[in-house]
Each structure stands twice: as structure tokens, then as C-alpha cells.
């Protein structure tokens, strides 16, 4: 088996965009000092891996699950509880990993084996019920999870902002916070590459066959329930890993940051905007969504002030920063309308037409 997926972007424009995003993520801590840029970059990395794991279900099997944030939360809480209880040490972090990942796998396997036999809509309702129950459970077990307040913890000394490794690199001190960022970047990159390898393997081809026609795949002799359950386990494993990285970055795990249904909506938006069944779409979709969430309001404020200075009527009110959520929604509606196959799907389609103009 090849180390890489053997599935290139297949579009010059897509390759340029991906290289630009990855390069920007690599240099952000050094060239853009400050808390907000590095926080935005870390969130892009984490959500790219999380959305890629969800795309394995939605884009490659056609399964609509609403329990993905549950696995994300399991990973977050496992790390948080271990470090909170045992102290900020590497063995405590290892305990959190050794508990969180198997717990996510076991729960995903149970959900897969008991609910993958039913039709898509019933599977979605089952996952929604399980995720809602887990959210209530995490909120009420205050002795373990901290309840609504969550758990705040310390990291091992090597990953703390006060630990300085290099005092000056382009005017920025390389400390434990930057080391944490590059650890998150490397782990997320490895998870996305692993998922690319999975979907381009024979197993991934079977998943796509199940998505296109489940009954035909069964007639060919494939055990669809087993394949779908394994896909659910792989997706849950990556989601739990992303949750652990998120908890490490925030040094906190709580219902709002780990189990909120708003996170599930963000994952769906990333997959749909980037392109279902592409994996590369998770990277582009995560970059677009996270940047829009963090900088659209500020950009609208600048545009509103410019319109006011120019004396243009109504426009300052329309572009007021308080209406940024409205414009964010409109931008996403426009992206789905103009890119029905997602950004990656559209770019690949245009590249194919450019190579073979007779292909219609």
C-alpha cells in the first residue's frame, strides 16, 4: 500500500488553494504574532480533521449522523478529566488518550451494529437521540465532567506558554504554545492523510458502492453492515482525536466547546461547502468557515465606516457589524447555490472540462 492516497487534487486551481492554506497554517505562529491569528489557525486544523472524518460518513457512505460531536466530546472530556484528576503530566495525558479512543471506538461500534441495519432517516434519528442523551449526561455528572462549567486544566510544562525554547525568531519567541500549535497541525495533517488513504483503498471503494446502491452491493456479496460499522468506527476515532487536540489547545472541555449542536451544524456546513466525498473539501471548507466566523464582523465594520464616510445612504446600516450573522448565512446560501458540488467538486469539474472540452 502506498503511504499517500494516490488521489491528487486533479485541478491546478485546487492545488494552488490547498498549498496556500497549508503554507499559511505553517507560518501563522511566526509571521502573525498574537492570540487571535494562532487561535484561528488551530481551529482550522482541528475542524479540517473533524469535518474530514464526518465526510467519511456523509460523503462516502451517505450516512447522515448527528452523533459526531459526541465522539468529539468523548475525546475532549477524556483528556480534560485525566489532566484535571491526575495532574498536568505526560502519563496523565496518555491515560486520557488510552481511555478516550477505546471508549469512542466501543460506542461507535455499538451504534453501528445496532442502527446501521435501518434506513438512513431512522439511523439519523437514533444518532440524534444518543447524542442528546450524552449531552444531558455530561451536563449533569458535575462530579466527573464539571457540569455546565466544564473542566479547566493545566498542560505539561513543555506545552505551556511560559516555556520558551527560542527567544527570537522573526521577532517571536518560540514557546510551549507554539509547540502545542505545531503538534496539533502535525496530528491533524496525519489524520487527514490517513482518511485519504482509507477512502482510496478497496475498503473505500466498497463504501462508495454502498452509497450508490446498497442493495446491489449486498447482492455482490459485501457485508454492508460490517463495512458501514467499520467506517463509523474510523470516523469516531478521528473525531475523538480532534476533540483531544481541541481540549489541549483550549485547556478546557465543556458542553459548549465539545458537545454543542452548533458544532454539528458547523461540520455539516464545512463538508457541504468544501464538497462531499472529496476529503480535500474539509480543508477548504474549514478555512472558509472559521475565517468568516472570526473576521467577517470586523470586515463589515470597516466597510460600514467607509460607506458612512462616503455618504452612501442605507449601506452603512446594511453593513453594520451587528448583522454579520445574516451576511454569513447569505454567503453560505450563495456558496451552495453557485457551488452545488462544493468548492472542490466545482474546481475539479472545470479542470476536467478544460482537459476534455467535448465532455459534457
Query: What pLDDT is recorded for position 5?
Result: 60
How far lies 58's CA from each of 51, 269, 337, 339, in Å?
10, 12, 19, 18
Query: What pLDDT is recorded for position 152?
Result: 93
Query: What pLDDT is recorded for position 1?
Result: 39
Query: What pLDDT is recorded for position 286?
Result: 94
Digit-coded pLDDT (tens) for 187-220: 999 999 999 999 988 898 998 898 888 888 888 8
Q: Which helix (H) or strand (E) holds 125?
A: helix 120-140
Query: What pLDDT is recorded for position 234?
Result: 94
Instruction: Give the residue-averaged pLDDT of 343-358.
Output: 69
Measure the CA–CA gap between 175 and 310, rounded to whole angstroms: 45
Digit-coded pLDDT (tens) for 246-267: 999 999 999 998 988 889 999 9
Query: What pLDDT is recorded for position 35?
Result: 86
Measure the CA–CA gap between 36 and 22, rounded to whole angstroms: 18
Query: What pLDDT is recorded for position 359?
Result: 46
* pLDDT class of 243 with cuts at 50, 70, 90: very high
Query: What pLDDT is recorded for position 348?
Result: 78
Query: What pLDDT is recorded for position 118?
Result: 63
Query: What pLDDT is recorded for position 287?
Result: 94
Return the number of other C-beta atoms located less than 10 Å from residue 311's C-beta: 8
* pLDDT class of 228 with cuts at 50, 70, 90: confident
At 36, list the grid cell. 487571535
Q: Which of 141, 158, 159 is nearest to 150 (CA)?
A: 141
Digit-coded pLDDT (tens) for 98-147: 999 999 999 998 887 777 666 667 778 888 888 888 888 988 888 888 88
Q: Is 239 left (phi over 0), alpha (psi -120 to 50) or beta?
A: alpha
Residue 229 has pLDDT above 80, yes or no: yes
Average pLDDT, the chain: 87
Place of cell 449526561: 137
What is the DSSP secondary structure assignment for residue 157, as one 8-state letter? G
Using the CB atoms, write b or e for 129-147: b if 16+ within 10 Å.
ebbeebbeebbeeeeebbe
* pLDDT class of 360 with cuts at 50, 70, 90: very low
Q: Decide: helix, strand or coil at residue 253.
A: strand
Instruction: Give the residue-averaged pLDDT of 322-351.
Output: 82
Helices (H) and strands (E) in the chain, counts: 16, 4
Query: What pLDDT is recorded for position 166?
Result: 81
Residue 346 has pLDDT above 90, yes or no: no
More confident residue, 8 or 108: 108
Residue 334 has pLDDT above 60, yes or no: yes
What is the DSSP secondary structure assignment for residue 27, as one 8-state letter? H
In the chain, where the domains are located = 12-260
Instruction: Kindly give the interhelix angle for 90-115 and 68-86, rounded to the nearest 10 degrees.
Output: 150
pTM: 0.91
Measure the CA–CA gap between 55 and 332, rounded to whole angstroms: 18
Digit-coded pLDDT (tens) for 37-87: 999 999 999 999 999 999 999 889 888 888 899 999 999 999 999 999 999
Query: What pLDDT is recorded for position 322?
Result: 83
Percent of the chain having pLDDT more than 70? Answer: 94
Query: What pLDDT is recorded for position 355?
Result: 56
Measure the CA–CA gap between 246 and 39, rounded to whole angstroms: 11
Q: Which of 246-255, 273-282, 318-327, 343-352 has the lowest mean pLDDT?
A: 343-352
Instruction: Give the residue-averaged pLDDT of 168-180.
Output: 84
Chosen CATH of 12-260 out of 1.20.1070, 1.10.287, 1.10.3470, 1.10.357: 1.10.3470
Query: What pLDDT is recorded for position 190?
Result: 95
What is the DSSP secondary structure assignment for residue 156, as one 8-state letter? P
Amino acid at each position: 500500500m502506498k503511504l499517500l492516497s494516490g488521489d491528487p487534487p486533479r485541478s491546478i486551481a485546487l492545488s494552488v488553494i490547498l498549498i496556500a492554506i497549508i503554507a499559511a497554517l505553517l507560518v501563522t505562529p511566526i509571521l502573525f504574532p498574537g492570540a487571535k491569528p494562532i487561535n484561528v489557525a488551530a481551529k482550522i486544523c482541528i475542524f479540517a480533521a473533524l469535518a474530514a472524518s464526518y465526510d467519511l460518513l456523509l460523503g462516502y457512505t451517505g450516512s447522515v449522523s448527528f452523533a459526531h460531536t459526541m465522539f468529539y466530546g468523548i475525546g475532549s472530556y477524556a483528556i480534560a478529566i485525566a489532566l484535571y484528576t491526575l495532574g498536568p503530566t505526560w502519563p496523565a495525558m496518555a491515560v486520557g488518550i488510552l481511555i478516550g479512543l477505546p471508549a469512542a471506538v466501543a460506542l461507535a461500534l455499538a451504534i453501528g451494529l445496532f442502527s446501521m441495519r435501518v434506513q438512513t432517516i431512522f439511523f439519523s434519528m437514533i444518532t440524534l437521540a444518543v447524542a442528546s442523551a450524552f449531552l444531558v449526561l455530561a451536563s449533569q455528572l458535575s462530579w466527573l465532567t464539571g457540569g455546565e462549567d466544564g473542566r479547566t486544566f493545566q498542560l505539561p510544562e513543555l506545552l505551556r506558554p511560559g516555556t520558551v525554547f527560542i527567544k527570537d525568531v522573526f521577532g517571536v519567541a518560540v514557546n510551549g504554545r507554539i509547540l502545542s500549535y505545531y503538534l496539533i497541525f502535525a496530528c491533524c495533517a496525519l489524520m487527514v492523510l490517513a482518511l485519504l488513504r482509507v477512502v482510496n483503498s478497496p475498503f473505500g471503494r466498497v463504501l462508495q458502492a454502498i452509497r450508490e446502491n446498497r442493495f446491489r452491493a449486498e447482492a455482490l456479496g459485501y457485508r454492508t453492515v460490517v463495512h458501514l460499522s467499520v467506517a463509523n468506527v474510523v470516523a469516531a476515532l478521528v473525531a475523538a482525536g480532534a476533540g483531544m487536540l481541541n481540549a489541549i489547545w483550549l485547556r478546557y472541555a465543556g458542553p459548549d466547546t465539545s458537545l454543542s449542536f452548533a458544532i454539528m451544524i458547523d461540520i455539516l456546513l464545512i463538508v457541504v461547502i468544501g464538497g462531499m466525498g472529496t476529503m480535500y473539501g474539509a480543508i477548504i471548507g474549514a478555512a472558509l468557515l472559521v475565517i468568516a466566523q472570526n473576521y467577517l464582523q470586523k470586515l463589515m465594520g470597516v466597510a460600514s465606516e467607509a460607506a458612512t464616510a462616503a455618504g452612501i445612504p442605507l449601506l452603512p446600516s446594511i453593513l453594520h457589524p451587528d448583522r454579520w450573522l445574516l451576511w454569513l448565512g447569505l454567503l453560505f446560501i450563495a456558496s451552495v447555490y453557485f457551488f452545488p458540488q462544493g468548492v472542490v467538486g466545482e474546481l475539479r469539474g472545470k479542470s476536467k472540462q478544460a482537459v476534455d472540452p467535448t465532455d459534457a
